[in-house]
Amino acid sequence: MELAAKYTKNYFDDFDGLNVKRATKYPKATEHIEDMQNLISNLVDKNMRM
């Protein structure tokens, strides 16, 4: 996770340098894997696949 932390820091440093207002939440994809799997399963079940 050190690599991700490095790029996250760079992201925020760049945004701060541009005076971009920060969001109130920054969800990490890795914290929502099960949610994404469920969403995809629901789409497949409804025949909404590509």
Question: pLDDT tens across 10-48, in order?
Answer: 999 999 999 999 999 999 999 999 999 999 999 999 999
Q: 49 or 15, which is more confident? A: 15
Q: 2 or 18, which is more confident? A: 18
pLDDT for 49 equals 72
Residue among 19, 25, 36, 26 nearest 5 (CA): 26
Q: CB-based contacts of 49: which residues, under 8 Å, 6+ apart?
A: 43
Which tokens sit at 6? 């490095």
Element (H, E) at 20: none
Q: Where are the domains of the chain?
A: 2-45
